[in-house]
Amino acid sequence: MRKIKEEELESLLLKYHAALKTLETELSILLQDFEFQNKYNPVEHIKSRIKSYDSVVKKLTKKGYKVTIKNIEEQIHDMVGIRIICAFLPDIYKVVQLLEHSEHIKIYNRKDYITHPKNTGYSSYHLQVKVPVHLMKGISFVNAEIQIRTLAMDFWASLEHKIRYKFLGEVPQNIQENIYKCALDINELDRKMLFLNHEVQKLKQSLH
């Protein structure tokens, strides 16, 4: 197997960092505009990252691919990743709509793990997008993944990730079942808080 040259990897990383900056800038402009128009910000906070090399090797190997530049570019869709955390469920769909209106960011695939949670219990809304990056050689469209979820979904996913990574192999069945039950409990809490928020909004309106 041909080893990846350091220079090739650096050039790829440069492109990914540029894509992340472009994505962050576009998102921030769209959100500022949304807030200005609606007097409301649907986002609590945003996290972003470039996938680590170790994670890339692990994911490619798991998918049965060799670790090459071509395979990183073609098979890893979340080298550039942004996670948008919202307070309430409907905010997720407001953010999705906002991104659908972007002139620059092109959505090419979506995964709705909210309507169809994964069998681990994971729920989130994923958009796979192409981000234009202007380099000296010309324009390049870089794959990126945007994960949009509520605070509650993020709480579950972050802790589940930590628990799962403590194991080298498969997490024991009884623990998996309990983690899944926690996801159901958290989704229920999400719905309750949304209901309470609606009630407060209705009360506020009736007082005006």
Residue type, 107: I
**What is the contact mask toward ligand 0O2 in residues 73 to 102, using x (rule: CB under 6 A)?**
----xx------------------------
Compute the least distance from the CB of residue 71 to ligand 0O2, in Å.
12
Rule CB under 6 A: is residue 130 a binding residue for ligand 0O2? no
CA distance 144 to 107: 10
Compute the least distance from the CB of residue 64 to ligand 0O2, in Å.
12
Q: What is the dihedral of CA 84, 85, 89, 95, to 10 degrees?
A: -30
**What is the contact mask toward ligand 0O2 in residues 142 to 181, using x (rule: CB under 6 A)?**
---------------x--xx--------------------
Closest CA to 147 of 184, 179, 110, 187: 110
Q: HSE-up of 4 (CA within 13 Å, CB side)? A: 19
CA distance 84 to 158: 13
| Residue environment code for 129-160, b if the CB has 16+ CB neighbours within 10 A, otherwise e | bbbebeeeeeeeebbbbbbbbbebbbbbbeeb
Compute the least distance from the CB of residue 162 to ligand 0O2, in Å.
9
Compute the least distance from the CB of residue 102 to ligand 0O2, in Å.
21
Rule CB under 6 A: is residue 126 a binding residue for ligand 0O2? yes
Pair of tokens at residue 84:
């948008």
Rule CB under 6 A: is residue 122 a binding residue for ligand 0O2? yes
Q: Which stretch binds ligand 0O2 (CB under 6 A): 114-122, 166-174, 181-189, 198-206?
A: 114-122
Rg of the chain in Å (alpha carbons): 19
Q: Which of 118/198 has CB closer to ligand 0O2?
A: 118
Binding site residues, ligand 0O2, CB under 6 A: 51, 55, 59, 77-78, 111, 118, 120, 122, 126, 157, 160-161
